[in-house]
Amino acid sequence: MFKSVISRVILLNIMLLALGIGTLSLFHLHREQSHHIAATQKSARLLLATIEKSIFNSMRLGNSAEVQAILELVGHSHALEGVRIFSPSGQILKSADATEIGQWASPQDFNLFQQNAKEGVFQSKSGPRVLSMIRPIVSDERCFKCHGQGRKVIGVLNMNFSLSEMYTQLREISQMFVVSTLAIIALLAAGISYIMIRLLQRPLDQITRSMWQVEEGNLTVRLAPKNNDEVGRLMLGFNAMVGNLEVAQKELQNLHYQQMERADRLASIGEMAAGLAHEIKNPLAGISGAISVLADDHNEEDPRKDIFGQIQDQIGRLDKTVNDLLYFGRPGEPEFSYADINNLLKQTLLFVAQHPEARNIGRVEELTSQLPPVWVDQKQIQQVLLNICINALQAMDGSGMLSVKTLTVHHDDKIWVRAEIRDNGPGMAPAVLEQIFTPFYTTKTQGTGLCLPICRQLMENNGGTLQVESQLGRGSCFILELPVLENVEILDDGRIGVL
C-alpha cells in the first residue's frame, strides 16, 4: 500500500500532524479542565461561605429552627448533593435532608474533619462524584451561654457539591476537542495529499512514463514543465539528457555507418590485395631468379655486383609485403593443440637474440612457473610473439631493455594466461595509439601497416586478446591474453596432463 515515496511522505506528514495537533489539543483540554475545576471549586467555596455566614447569624441568636430552614432551602439547589452539620463525634445534628438527622456522617466526610482537611473529592452514596467541603464551627463569647465556657468546635458544617455537571461539561469539551482535532487533521491531510499528488506524484509519473519510452528507444519524448520549481527543473534536465542522447545516437549511427562502409572497403581492398599479391608473387620469384643468374656472371670486384645485391634486397622487401597482403587477405585456419606460453616465449626470445637490432638490448624475463596450458595454434601465437618483440627492438632504436612477463589473471568468470612484452622506447602518443591496429596504418618509413592488425587477428582466431598500453617517454607494453582450459595441467617434464 505504501510502496511509493509519495504515499510514505503523505503518511509521515499525517502522523506528524496528528502528533502535533493531538499534543496541542491535549494541552488545551487539560488547561480547560483545570479552569473548570478551579471555577467549580470557587463557586463551591463561595456558596459554603454564604451558608456559613447565614447559619452563624441564626446560631448566634439561638434560633435552631432557622438554621434547619436555611439548610433545607439551600439543599434544594441541584448543584448540591447535601449540606449538613454534624457534631465533632460524627453525628448529624442538622441537615437539608431531615432523614439524615441523628445518623452518622459518611466515613469520607468524617475523615476529612479528622485529618483537618478542608475539602476532598470522592464518590457519593447516590453515585456521582462530589466535592466535599468541611468548615469547623468554633464557639466564641457569644456562644458560651448555650455551649459552655471556652473556645471549642461545637459542630462541623459539611457541604457536598455535585461535580456531575462539571464532568458533563468536561466530556462535551473533550468530545469537541477530539472532533475538531480529527477534522483539522483530516482537512490538513487532504490538503497535503492533494498538493503532493498534484505537484509531485503526477509529474513524477509523467517522467517515469517518459523514461520507459526512452528505454524502449523513443528519443523524441519531451516533457512540458508547468512550474519553475524543482520538478520543473528536473523535467528540463530530463529533456536536455534525452536531447543529448538523441544527438549521441545519431552520431553513433553515422559513425557505425561509416565504419561499416570502411570495413566493406577494407574487405574489398583485402580481397583485391590478396589477388594482386598472388599475381605479383610468381613474376617476382622469376625476377629474383633472373637477377641471381645475372649476378653470378660477374665477379666480386665488379661494381655491378652491389647493384644486383640491392635489387635482391628490394625484391625481398616486395616479397615480404606480398606475403603480408596474402596473409591479411586470407589468414590460415588455426591448428589447435595444447601449448605452454613459457616455452613459446623462450623459443621466440632465442630467435629475437639473433636479430641484428638486438645486440645492445638487455632482457628481463619474469616467467611464472606452472602456468596452465592453453589451446592454441602454436605457430600462429609464436608469430605474434616474434612480431611484437621485433617491433619492440625497432622502437628502442638499438639500445634499451626488453622485459617479458607471464602470469595468470581472473576476469569475465575465466582464468587467462597473460604475457606482457614491455620496452622502454619513446612510447606512443594517444592519437597513434588509437590507430596502431588499423590496417595499412604505420609510422615507419618502411612498412605495410599490416603487422599489428595481423597479430590481433591471429589472437582473436585463437580466442585471445591483444592490447597495448603506452606513454610518451616511458615506452610501450603489449598484453596478450589467452583463455585457460579446465582440467588440464603442465607436468614437471613439460608434457600436458589431463586431470
Q: Does a structural domain hold residue 271?
A: yes
My answer on whether 418 and 489 are in the same domain is yes
- Look-up: residue for cell 605474434? 384
The CATH number of the domain holding residue 287 is 1.10.287
Report DSSP state, residue 104. B
Cell of 491: 607436468
pLDDT at residue 323, rounded to an integer: 65
CB atoms within 10 A of CB 151: 11
Q: Does a structural domain hold residue 141?
A: yes
My answer on whether 160 and 89 are in the same domain is yes
Kindly report the backbone phi and psi dihedral angles of residue 431, in degrees, each rounded to the nearest multiple of 5, phi listed first: -65, -40
My answer on whether 388 and 326 are in the same domain is no
Q: Does a structural domain hold residue 151?
A: yes
pLDDT at residue 161, rounded to an integer: 82
My answer on whether 343 and 297 are in the same domain is no
Ramachandran bin of 144, using left for φ above 0, alpha for ψ from -120 to 50, beta for the remaining angles? alpha
pLDDT at residue 326, rounded to an integer: 59
pLDDT at residue 282, rounded to an integer: 64
Domain that holds residue 344: 337-498
Q: Does a structural domain hold residue 192?
A: no
What is the rounded distance in angstroms from the CA atom of residue 234 to the CA atom of residue 146? 97
Longest dimension (CA), the chain: 180
The beta strand positions in 347-392, using DSSP E, are: 361-367, 374-376
My answer on whether 13 and 38 are in the same domain is yes
pLDDT at residue 418, rounded to an integer: 94
The CATH number of the domain holding residue 157 is 3.30.450.20
Tens of pLDDT, residue by residue, the chain (499 residues): 556 666 777 778 778 877 887 788 788 777 877 887 788 778 888 887 887 787 777 766 667 778 788 888 877 777 788 888 888 888 888 888 888 888 988 888 888 888 888 888 887 776 678 888 888 887 766 665 665 565 777 788 888 888 787 778 778 877 887 888 888 888 888 887 887 777 777 888 888 888 888 888 888 888 888 878 777 888 888 888 888 888 888 888 888 888 777 666 666 666 666 666 666 666 767 777 777 777 777 777 777 777 777 777 677 766 766 666 555 555 667 788 889 999 999 988 888 888 888 888 888 899 998 889 999 988 889 888 988 998 888 888 878 899 999 999 998 888 999 999 999 988 888 888 888 888 777 777 666 677 788 888 888 889 999 999 998 888 999 999 999 977 655 555 555 554 5
Burial string for 394-422 (b: 16+ CB within 10 Å, else e) reads: ebbeeebebbbbbeeeeeeeeebbbbbbb
My answer on whether 424 and 306 are in the same domain is no
Domain final position from 311, 330, 349: 330
What is the rounded distance in angstroms from the CA atom of residue 407 to the CA atom of residue 419? 7
The CATH number of the domain holding residue 454 is 3.30.565.10
Q: What is the pTM of this model?
A: 0.44
What is the rounded distance in angstroms from the CA atom of residue 90 to the CA atom of residue 87? 5
My answer on whether 382 and 292 are in the same domain is no
**What's the total number of domains in the chain?**
3
Domain final position from 145, 170, 195: 170
My answer on whether 389 and 277 are in the same domain is no
pLDDT at residue 422, rounded to an integer: 93
My answer on whether 352 and 319 are in the same domain is no
Q: Does a structural domain hold residue 203?
A: no
Q: Does a structural domain hold residue 186?
A: no
For the chain, what's the residue count?
Answer: 499
My answer on whether 396 and 469 are in the same domain is yes
Q: Does a structural domain hold residue 370?
A: yes
Q: Does a structural domain hold residue 193?
A: no
Q: Can you name the residues that pair with 338 across neighbouring β-strands?
A: 375
Element (H, E) at 98: none
pLDDT at residue 448, rounded to an integer: 65
Domain final position from 302, 330, 358: 330
My answer on whether 452 and 411 are in the same domain is yes
Ramachandran bin of 188, using left for φ above 0, alpha for ψ from -120 to 50, beta for the remaining angles? alpha
Query: How far from the centroid of its chain's Cα atoms is residue 213's Cα?
Result: 24
My answer on whether 323 and 381 are in the same domain is no
pLDDT at residue 455, rounded to an integer: 87
What is the rounded distance in angstroms from the CA atom of residue 94 to the CA atom of residue 91? 9
